[in-house]
Amino acid sequence: MAIAQRRGVSSRPPGKNPRRLALEILVRVERDKAYANALLDARLRRQQLSPRDRALATELCYGVLRHRGTIDFLLATVLDRPLDAVEVEVRNLLRLGAYQFFYLTRVPSYAAVDETVRLARRGAGAFVNAILRALGRRGPLREEELPAEPVSRWSVRYSHPLWLVKRWSKQLGEDACALMQANNRIPPVGIGWNPLRGRLEAFEEGLTRAGVEWQASPWLPHAYRVRHAGSLLTGALSKRGALWVMDEAAALVVRLVDPQPGEHILDVCTGGGGKATLAAMLMKNRGEIRALDVSPRALGRLEEARRRLGTTIVRPVRGDAREAGTRFRGWADRVLVDAPCTGLGTVRRRPEIRWHREPADIPRLAELQGAILEGVADCVRSGGCLVYAVCSREPEEGEEVIAKFLAGHAEFSRERHSPAFFAGDRAGLLTEGDVATWPHRHDTDGFLAVRLRRQ
């Protein structure tokens, strides 16, 4: 027991060890509910790792987060105490070792043990070594070990928290399994051409020269799915603003807004401004876009993106969307509400969300979403439109928010769209006229976007 009380991360300097980097990020994600992508991007910029080590650190971080539920089930079979009773640093050391055992097959078992034990602080190495060797002897998960009850079995097999599996199984039935499997696959990176920074032909030639795997999006013109995009995102095309980065489902939301040159657009809860800058490109940089957010940090990211992409009509504005009606009453031809939400439609891209979220988050955020819609309603001019979007397919955050808003606002009506709106809608992007995407059906993030017209 004395060993367990001294467990932790080694005090040796970080150096250029991809496993240590992965461990530090996993600890921050669990302890502080941080986001892995932001931490990883920041650390990789500071540390001069080889391309191979960068890839390993990335795979370890995201791999452990995707498969954490299954890994924890396996660890519980060889531990003499609940996993939650193990200190957070050592808990994630064990997960790293287990991931290398069972998912990173190119790493020999002895190397997975040795490299993981080296990261442990003095006094913890023996414990980590013993648990990982016991795990190696017991072998991978066997079908007969899974819980008999179907939903519990799916939770372990597909590595999602039980409450979420119960919710999705009620909503989707056995199709929930396909959704969870899609969430555990590595998604492509969505990018697109910026017409303000050069010709389309030159852009596609640049993609080919960058040596990445790319293919045209089936849903959007001048958008692409890219594999192994690391060098592209730090290369010449990105630096000169020739490309934007966004999942196709998020870009479809901007298409639903349908911004036109010369119009006034209000984008509330803009975050880093990806949708606002894409709207500016569609408007040929003519008109005016006010991008509203409460966070100075988010607006700083938007200002940097605005300069890089050349979208000069975007104007960052600090403010609360719930109070937007007092500042922009009747100003906007179109308003986009990209509402704060659980983000449960983006689990494949941000796997830690499944472990961060709790059932109580859904009604709490739904209340905020309703308040934001109320706050922006008066911003829409007569005849203008309001698009409400969430990267979640939970009914409380989508359909129910819209239904409640419409019940109190007879001046708005839901605007349905024909399949022709999205190039024939070959695979059901539209559900009763709304944009409604699923990871397992469209290979995009899960989004709901609804367009309302002010009469």
Q: Is 391 annotated as catalytic?
A: yes
Q: Cβ atoms within 10 A of the Cβ of 52, count?
A: 9
The DSSP 8-state label assigned to residue 125 in this structure reads: H
In order of start, what are the domains of the chain with their CATH numbers?
Answer: 2-145 (1.10.940.10), 150-183 (no CATH), 189-245 (3.30.70.1170), 248-454 (3.40.50.150)
**What is the structure's pLDDT at 433?**
65
Percent of the chain with pLDDT over 90: 83
Give 13-37 pLDDT, tens digit per residue.
Answer: 445 799 999 999 999 999 999 999 9
Provide the pLDDT for residue 432.
59
Q: pTM for the whole thing?
A: 0.92
pLDDT at position 348: 97
pLDDT at residue 2 in the model: 31
Which of 61, 341, 385, 391 does the annotation list as catalytic? 391
Structure tokens given for 111? 């190397």
Q: How far apart are CA 100 and CA 379, in angstroms?
A: 53
DSSP string, 212-257: -EEEE-SSSTTEEEEES-HHHHTSHHHHTT-EEE--HHHHHHHHHH
CB distance 225 to 215 below 8 Å: yes
Q: Is 55 helix (H, G, I), strand (E, B) or coil?
A: helix
Residues 398-414: tens digit of each pLDDT: 999 999 999 999 999 99
pLDDT at 424: 45
According to the model, what pLDDT value does residue 447 have?
97
Q: Which residues of the chain have pLDDT under 50?
A: 1-14, 419, 424-425
Tell me which DSSP letter residue 9 carries.
B
Distance CA 77, CA 75 (A): 5
